[in-house]
Structure 1
Amino acid sequence: MMWQRIFALAIKEFQALLRDPKARFVVIGPPIIQLVVFSFAATFDLNHIPLAIYNQDGGQAAQSLVARFTGSQHFEITARLTHEDEIKHVIDQREALMVLHIGPRFEQDLDSGKPATVQLIIDGRNSNTAAIALGYASSIVADFNAQWQQTHHLAAPPSVIVSRAWFNPNLISRWFIVPGVVGILMLVVVMVVTALSVAREREQGTFDQLLVTPLRPVEILIGKATPGFVIGMIEGGVTIFLAVHLFGVPFEGHIGTLFVGLGLFLMSAIGVGLMISALATTLQQAVLGVFLFLVPAIILSGFATPIANMPPIVQDLTLINPMRYLMIILRGVFLEGSSFDSLIDEFWPLAIIGLVTLAFAGWLFRHRMN
């Protein structure tokens, strides 16, 4: 009998949510649109970096080095300078992000076995972009050095660094970003669905009718949580499918392991959402509560900046943030092929957060109903 009442309440919640065309659009449309837009727009990869060339040598070696830059998809030649004073102008006016300066003795120094200096002048106003562009340029110069050594039969240096990127061999930033976007969209949708449920009924005047039904507080809690859980799982499945088949993000792990993590995360998110819903008396208060939770949760999740770089007290604060654990699970299963056993340390904190928040939400329901 109890499960029949819970089922009836869950059906009522689905009907209330899906009957309104605007509510249907909010649940279905924006997450898909945001996944597509964010995944294409949010990338650390740089292409067609504006590059100015100041070549004082003009010899074959200098031309070969310049050709490596022009042939790269990362750089686009926007200016060829003839005087040193022009460097300041192209950087100040943002006509070029980087200037490649090859000195007049470049080929002569190479032929004589002396170190040949190449200067890279870069606009550092955006430090992240500058660092990425400098990495691309350094890689091109290193490849030029290796080929020059081989073709001129020069002795190899005593030590050579050979780098190899595991899990993301081509260092495609979209592979790192898209799984994180999946987690953020799930959090937003579930929080909106659950946090607004009770507040909406209070404004519509139907919450008092719910109180006079035979439903107990725990049954109301489960009935309110069910739509958010079901919708969250469906949204998660759709966004994961799009991440793999639309954006080409590799999926190295097991789908069952991922959905266990998603289920535990949804318990935590639903618990927080129901707590907000039980405390709020109006939709405006519920929306404000969701906003106050979402922003810190995303910032402290490790989505964009590593948690290890945060101050120690902030790192400790992230331990109660369910998004922190979801990010590790998503990226681990997608890119690393993490097994169920290797993610146990992420599963049990999510389970504890979910139990605590759901229990507190249940206490709030009983308190508000008495």
Structure 2
Amino acid sequence: MLARLFALIIKEFLAILRDAKSRMVLIGPPLIQLVVFGYAASFDLNHVPFAVYDQDQSALSRDLVADFAGSPSFQQVAILHSPARIKQLVDSRTVEMVLDIDPRYSRNLLLGQPAPVQVIVDGRNSNTALLILGYASDIITAASHEWAAKHGGTLPPAQLVPRALYNPTLDSHWFIIPGIVALLTQVVTLLVVGLSVAREREAGTFDQTLVTPLRPIDIVLGKSLPGLIIGLVEGTVIILATHFWFDVPLLGSLVLLYLGLLLFIAAVTGIGLMISSLAATQQQALLGAFLFMVPSIILSGFATPIANMPTLVQDLTLINPMRYALVVIRDSFLEQPSLTTLLPQFAAMTSLALISLITAGWMFRKRTL
């Protein structure tokens, strides 16, 4: 049995690697997507274009403008001399923020009174607007403390001293890029496994496999093990790039990380085999894979917290293996989780892997009878 199974695995690898298009799917797109997502996907804002409407025109107001212009988060693109152009610049998306300094700004500062400063933001993208307001608030607060310290003013009795655990710089790449490990591993594994049987059906070689002494369980194992190995290799490449190229720290145990990755790939392999057993052509298998992938990514917590989703949608995420893989991978990169901490994730992925692989075997058996 092992000799037949080994021969089938070798045949699967040859079928995948001898095709130039298949080789490109395995090597090119994952690396390109990793680079694109790694640099483009970020919750941080840099060089936000803003305009200044300085009604005070004093040295103090110019110091405040300089604080904004010198920040890496902002880029000054316009100076306004009347409020008439504010709406025009925001409507055209030329600027995302307007710094409106009241004419009483310096006078109130010198008198020890609150100095009015208005920040006008484009609220069409609420997340971006909240980030801009947060950055602007930090700069204005820092300028206020500096002024009070230099001129003997009264500092606030309580001061907020933030400290972020696991991500001291609050760099959103540390959150996003480990998630890309799970995302790209799922994409590659699902495509390789999902197209395997459909490719043979189109070529007419799958019927030849059925008349061999191989049992349905042998065929399922022979189709799933190459996808499992390819998924682990792809995941390893992406993990190495995440740590050494993007400088995301890898603090956890490699054993626990790879155990979670193996269980995740096993679950995705079972889903790919289910899609492959239903599809008669590669086009159908490709459509089936994408029909699964898009909801899987959305319902995984990759970009939006699962806790913010409606209760019914949260229940749907329980059957999504990527949900658990993201927890394992992100915790392994940024924390030092123990086996006990990750045990619920391992148990869930093991259950999903067994269910998907057993179901795939049953579906193959039904199709071959």
TM-score strictly above 0.5: yes
In 2, Cα distance between equivalents of 1:241 and 1:88: 47
In 2, Cα distance between equivalents of 1:281 and 1:71: 60
| 1:99 lines up with 2:90 in the alignment | no
Letter in structure 2 aligned against 1:305 = T
Partner residue of 1:210? 209
Range with bigger deviation, 121-130 or 313-322:
121-130
Partner residue of 1:90? 89
Partner residue of 1:248? 247
Give the secondary-structure state (helix, strand or coil) at the position aligned to 1:40.
helix
Partner residue of 1:55? 54
In 2, Cα distance between equivalents of 1:55 and 1:280: 65
Report the CA distance between 1:161 and its aligned residue: 2.0
Letter in structure 2 aligned against 1:36 = V
| 1:115 lines up with 2:109 in the alignment | no
Report the CA distance between 1:138 and its aligned residue: 0.9
Report the CA distance between 1:174 and its aligned residue: 1.4
In 2, Cα distance between equivalents of 1:86 and 1:204: 65
Identity %: 54
Partner residue of 1:314? 313
Letter in structure 2 aligned against 1:29 = G
In 2, Cα distance between equivalents of 1:130 and 1:336: 30
Letter in structure 2 aligned against 1:7 = F
Report the CA distance between 1:265 and its aligned residue: 0.2
In 1, Cα distance between equivalents of 2:334 and 2:103: 47
| 1:238 lines up with 2:237 in the alignment | yes
Report the CA distance between 1:20 and its aligned residue: 0.7
| 1:267 lines up with 2:304 in the alignment | no
Q: What is the count of residue pairs matched by the alignment?
A: 369
In 2, Cα distance between equivalents of 1:324 and 1:76: 38
In 1, Cα distance between equivalents of 2:333 and 2:220: 33
In 1, Cα distance between equivalents of 2:148 and 2:330: 40
Report the CA distance between 1:4 and its aligned residue: 1.3
Report the CA distance between 1:237 and its aligned residue: 0.4
* Correspondence 1:220-235 to 2 at 5 A: 220-235=219-234
* TM-score, length-scaled by structure 2: 0.97
Partner residue of 1:46? 45
Report the CA distance between 1:273 and its aligned residue: 0.5
Partner residue of 1:179? 178
Structure 2 gaps of 5+ residues are none
In 2, Cα distance between equivalents of 1:284 and 1:90: 47
Letter in structure 1 aligned against 2:168 = P
Letter in structure 2 aligned against 1:193 = V
| 1:355 lines up with 2:354 in the alignment | yes
Label 1:366 to 1:93 Cα distance change in 2 as closer, same or farther (>3 A). closer
Letter in structure 2 aligned against 1:62 = S
Report the CA distance between 1:145 and its aligned residue: 1.4
Letter in structure 1 aligned against 2:360 = A
In 1, Cα distance between equivalents of 2:278 and 2:93: 51
Partner residue of 1:127? 126
Report the CA distance between 1:93 and its aligned residue: 2.5
In 2, Cα distance between equivalents of 1:145 and 1:339: 44
Give the secondary-structure state (helix, strand or coil) at the position aligned to 2:158.
coil
In 1, Cα distance between equivalents of 2:293 and 2:334: 25
Partner residue of 2:322? 323
* Correspondence 1:27-38 to 2 at 5 A: 27-38=26-37
Question: CA deviation digits over 1:275-322, x for unaligned, max 9?
Answer: 111122222221121111111101101111111111000000000000
Letter in structure 1 aligned against 2:300 = S
Partner residue of 1:333? 332
In 2, Cα distance between equivalents of 1:230 and 1:266: 9
Letter in structure 2 aligned against 1:227 = P
| 1:300 lines up with 2:299 in the alignment | yes
Report the CA distance between 1:217 and its aligned residue: 1.1
Partner residue of 1:147? 146
Partner residue of 2:290? 291
Letter in structure 2 aligned against 1:253 = G
Whether the 8 Å contact between 1:333 and 1:339 is mirrored in structure 2 is no
In 1, Cα distance between equivalents of 2:137 and 2:335: 28
Give the secondary-structure state (helix, strand or coil) at the position aligned to 2:98.
strand
| 1:79 lines up with 2:72 in the alignment | no
Report the CA distance between 1:11 and its aligned residue: 0.3
Whether the 8 Å contact between 1:194 and 1:273 is mirrored in structure 2 is yes
Give the secondary-structure state (helix, strand or coil) at the position aligned to 2:155.
coil
In 1, Cα distance between equivalents of 2:83 and 2:192: 61
Structure 1 gaps of 5+ residues are none
Report the CA distance between 1:78 and its aligned residue: 0.7
Letter in structure 1 aligned against 2:72 = Q
Letter in structure 1 aligned against 2:132 = A
Whether the 8 Å contact between 1:90 and 1:96 is mirrored in structure 2 is yes
Give the secondary-structure state (helix, strand or coil) at the position aligned to 2:248.
coil
Partner residue of 1:167? 166
Question: CA deviation digits over 1:250-287, x for unaligned, max 9?
Answer: 11111111100000001100010111111222222211
In 2, Cα distance between equivalents of 1:84 and 1:16: 67
